Chain A
Amino acid sequence: MARAFTPKVVTGNALLEGDVVYYTAQGTWTRNLAEAQVLSDQAAADLRLTEAASDQSLIVGAYLADMAPSDTGPEPTHFREEFRRTGPSNYFHGKQAEA
C-alpha cells in the first residue's frame, strides 16, 4: 500500500548568505517558515520543487521537507528541520537571534 503523503514545503539555502530559506505560494523566497507554502500532494510538491530548484541565482540545494500544518503555519516534523528553523543550540545565533 502506498504511504500516505506528508505535507511538505520547499526549502534550501540562500546563495549569498547561506541562510535557510523557504518557497512561498507567490514563488518568492522567505526566511520565515510561517510564510512558506504548504504542499498537500506529491504532484504539486514535485512541480514546486522543480520551479524552485531552477532559481539558482538566489538559492542552493532546494529540497522538500516534511511539515505538519498548524494554525500558525507549517511545523517541522523532524528535529533537523526544527534546528534549521531555529539555529544552533549552543549559541543564540541564526534565525532565533534574527526573529
Chain B
Amino acid sequence: MYSYNEFDTAFLAERNAQFRSQVERRIDGSLTEDEFRPLRLMNGLYLQLHAYMLRVAIPYGTLRSDQMRMLATIAEKWDKGYGHFTTRQNIQYNWPKLPDVPDILDALGSVQLHAIQTSGNTIRNVTADHFAGAAADEVADPRPIAELLRQWSTDHPEFQFLPRKFKFAVTGADADRAVIRAHDIGIQLVEKDGQRGVRVFVGGGLGRTPVIGKVIRDFLPEEDLLPYSEAIVATYNVLGRRDNKYKARIKITVNENGLETFKELTEKRFAELKPLFGGVDQKMLAEIRTMFAPPAFRNAPTHAYDAAREADPVFRAWADTNLAEHRQEGYAIVSISLKKHGETPGDATADQMRAMADLAETYAHDELRISHEQNVILPHVHKSDLPALHAALKDQGLATANIGLVSDIIACPGMDYCALATARSIPVAQEIANRFDELKLEHEIGPLKIKISGCINACGHHHVGHIGILGLDRAGVENYQITLGGDGTEDAAIGQRTGPGFAYDEITGAIETIIKTYLALRDSEDETYLAAYKRLGVAPFKAALYPEKANAA
C-alpha cells in the first residue's frame, strides 16, 4: 500500500488549512458564493438537493483498515451514520455541514485520504481493477501505475482548468474489470516480447454521448506512460471545446478531429515532453512499487473450506457467487456485497465499515478495495478462513450471495440526493432486488448486470448494463428508458434502446418481463442473459415489452 512521505503529508495539511480559511471567509461574508463555489468544488464539496455532499477519493479503490475505520468515524460524527460508495471508487457523504468540512478533511488527512480533484474540470480519482494485485489473470498489479498517475495529476498546474472533467482507469489484466473503455484514458498493462508496456485507449465515456474508447497506442513501453499521458491531456486541453459543455469531453474531441489527427498531435507533443521527464518518473515508480509488494502469504491446508462447502448450502451459495480466483494457491478474493435485497446499493453503515475493517485486519492482510460496482473486496483471504469470515459477515448483514446477479445493481444516487438528476434510481433498484428475491429466481437467472442512472450523465453506467435503465423527467413525471445488451468488459458495447420508457410503477414489471423472456428463450441453463441477447437480438424483448405494438404489426 502506498504510504505518504513527509512532502505528501505537508502538502495535504497545507491544502486543508487553505480550505479552512476559505470556509471561514465564506461564512463571515468575505467571499461570495460565486467566489467560494469553485474553491469548494476543488475540495470535493458539492451542494446537492437536501444538503452538502462531500466526495472523498479512494485512489484505485484501495484502503487500509485504519482508513476504512476513519470513513466510519466521519459517517458517525459528522454525517448520518452511513456512506455511499460510488462507481468511481469514491465515498460520498450526503449530509455534512459546511462549518464541519475542514475538520472532516483533517480527519481524512490523518489517514492519508483526501477529497482533492473529486470535482471540477480536472483529472479525477484514478480508478483500477478492484482485484488488482490478487487476480489470477493479471499481467501485473496496476496500482503502482495508478499511484504514479495520481501523483502526477494532483495539482498539476497545466490541468486544473481542462475543458471538462477527465477520468483515467487502469487494469493489469485482459479481463476488463475497470471499464477502461468507458474512460477518457484507459490503460491496460500488457507484455510483448518479454517487455512490459501498456495499451492505451482514448476517448471513451458514457453520459449523453456514449462512446467506446479507441486504441491510440497498442503498445507503449511502460517508461513512456507518463509523458504520453501528459501529451494526450495536453492535446485535449488545446483542442477540447469550451463553447459547449456537452461537447467538451475528449470523446467529442477525438471524434470531431479524427483519431489519426488527435494521435498525430499527441505524438508530436510526446516527442517534446519525453526528454523532459529524464527518468525521474521511473525512479518514483520504482519506489512506489516497493509499497505494493504482495503480502506474506501462508501455506496452510484448506480442509475447513472444503468441509464448509459440503456441510452448509448457504456458505456454498455465497462462495459460488462472491469468491474469485486468486493468483496464490489456497487463497480467494472475497467480494462483500453492499446490495442486500431492499437496501441502497453502495451504502454501508459506520458499524458495517468498522466490521469490514476488522475483518480485513484479521483475515485479509489489512487490505480492502472498493469496486466500481459499489461493493467491497477483501483481496487476499486464505480459504481456511472463509467459513469464519462468512459467519462474521452474516452477523453484519453483509453476506448476501448475489455478486454479478440480478440484484447486484449499480445505482447512482439519483433524485433522492443529486441536484443534476431527473428521476430516482435508488428505489427502483430496491424494488427490482426485492421482486427477484421474492420470485427466488436470482440464482437460476445467473450472471446479469443491471445498471441504473437517474439522469443522462450516466453515473450509474446504464449504457454498459446488460439491462440499462435511464430515469428521465417526461412532462413532470418520472419515466424510465430501457437499454439492452450493453457490456462494460473487454467486449465493451453500448446497449440498444428498446422503445418508449416506462412509468415509475411499471419499470420493475418491465424488467421482470425482459428476464422472463430470456428464461423462456435461452437454449440451456448455461446460456447467460448476455449471450442469449447477442444470439436473439432485441426483437423478442421488444415484442414482450410492447405487446400492443407487436399485435398491431
B29 within 8 A of A: yes
Known A56-B33, A60-B33; contact A20-B50, beta-carbon cutoff 8 A = yes
Known A79-B415, A94-B50; contact A18-B97, beta-carbon cutoff 8 A = yes
Q: Which of B29, B99, B417 contacts A56 (CB 8 A)?
A: B29
Q: Which of A15, A16, A20, A80 contacts B415 (CB 8 A)?
A: A80
Q: Are B47 and A90 in contact (CB under 8 A)?
A: no
Considering the chains assembled together, what is the distance between the CA atoms of A56 and B27 in angstroms?
Answer: 9
Considering the chains assembled together, what is the distance between the CA atoms of A15 and B99 in angstroms?
Answer: 10
B48 within 8 A of A: yes
Considering the chains assembled together, what is the distance between the CA atoms of A46 and B52 in angstroms?
Answer: 26
A26 within 8 A of B: no
Considering the chains assembled together, what is the distance between the CA atoms of A91 and B99 in angstroms?
Answer: 24
Considering the chains assembled together, what is the distance between the CA atoms of A19 and B97 in angstroms?
Answer: 9
B331 within 8 A of A: no
Q: Are B33 and A61 in contact (CB under 8 A)?
A: yes
Q: Which of A56, A60, A84, A90 contacts B49 (CB 8 A)?
A: A84
Chain B 391-430: CB-based contact to A (< 8 A → 1; otherwise 0): 0000000000000000000000001110000001011001
Q: Which residues of B contact A78 (CB under 8 A)?
A: 476
Considering the chains assembled together, what is the distance between the CA atoms of A34 and B416 in angstroms?
Answer: 21
Q: Which of A17, A61, A77, A80 contacts B51 (CB 8 A)?
A: A17
Known A16-B97, A83-B415; contact A90-B344, beta-carbon cutoff 8 A = yes
Q: Which of A19, A57, A60, A61 contacts B50 (CB 8 A)?
A: A19
B504 nearest CB neighbor, chain A only: A79
Q: Are A83 and B49 in contact (CB under 8 A)?
A: yes
B46 nearest CB neighbor, chain A only: A18
Considering the chains assembled together, what is the distance between the CA atoms of A83 and B421 in angstroms?
Answer: 12
Q: Are A88 and B416 in contact (CB under 8 A)?
A: yes
With A79-B415, A83-B416, A93-B80 already in contact, 19 other A-B pairs whose C-beta atoms are closer than 8 Å: A15-B26, A17-B51, A17-B97, A18-B98, A56-B33, A60-B47, A79-B476, A79-B477, A83-B49, A88-B94, A88-B426, A89-B424, A89-B426, A89-B427, A90-B416, A90-B427, A91-B344, A94-B50, A94-B51
5 closest A-B pairs by beta carbon, nearest first, are: A18-B51, A88-B416, A18-B52, A89-B427, A90-B344
Minimum CB–CB distance from A50 to chain B (whole Å) comes to 15
Q: Which residues of A contact B94 (CB under 8 A)?
A: 88
Q: Are A88 and B50 in contact (CB under 8 A)?
A: yes
Within 8 A of A (CB), among B34-77: 47-52
Considering the chains assembled together, what is the distance between the CA atoms of A16 and B97 in angstroms?
Answer: 6
A7 within 8 A of B: no
Considering the chains assembled together, what is the distance between the CA atoms of A90 and B49 in angstroms?
Answer: 14
Considering the chains assembled together, what is the distance between the CA atoms of A95 and B95 in angstroms?
Answer: 12
Q: Which residues of B contact A73 (CB under 8 A)?
A: none
Considering the chains assembled together, what is the distance between the CA atoms of A16 and B28 in angstroms?
Answer: 11
B302 within 8 A of A: no
B82 nearest CB neighbor, chain A only: A91
A69 within 8 A of B: no
Q: Which residues of A contact B29 (CB under 8 A)?
A: 56-57
A32 within 8 A of B: no
Residue in A19, A87, A88 with the greatest tally of chain B CB atoms within 10 Å: A88
Q: Are B50 and A15 in contact (CB under 8 A)?
A: no
A13 within 8 A of B: yes
Minimum CB–CB distance from A90 to chain B (whole Å) comes to 5
Known A77-B476, A89-B427; contact A19-B51, beta-carbon cutoff 8 A = yes
Q: Are B98 and A16 in contact (CB under 8 A)?
A: yes
B478 within 8 A of A: yes
Minimum CB–CB distance from A91 to chain B (whole Å) comes to 7
Q: Which residues of A contact B347 (CB under 8 A)?
A: 90
A59 nearest CB neighbor, chain B only: B33
B344 nearest CB neighbor, chain A only: A90
Minimum CB–CB distance from A25 to chain B (whole Å) comes to 24
Q: Which residues of B contact A87 (CB under 8 A)?
A: 50
Considering the chains assembled together, what is the distance between the CA atoms of A26 and B443 in angstroms?
Answer: 60
Considering the chains assembled together, what is the distance between the CA atoms of A39 and B476 in angstroms?
Answer: 21
Considering the chains assembled together, what is the distance between the CA atoms of A91 and B47 in angstroms?
Answer: 19
Within 8 A of A (CB), among B364-393: none
Q: Are B47 and A13 in contact (CB under 8 A)?
A: yes
Chain A 54-72: CB-based contact to B (< 8 A → 1; otherwise 0): 0011001100000000000
Q: Which residues of A contact B51 (CB under 8 A)?
A: 13, 17-19, 94
Considering the chains assembled together, what is the distance between the CA atoms of A56 and B26 in angstroms?
Answer: 9
B32 within 8 A of A: yes
Q: Which of B98, B344, B416, B473 contacts A15 (CB 8 A)?
A: B98
Minimum CB–CB distance from A44 to chain B (whole Å) comes to 24
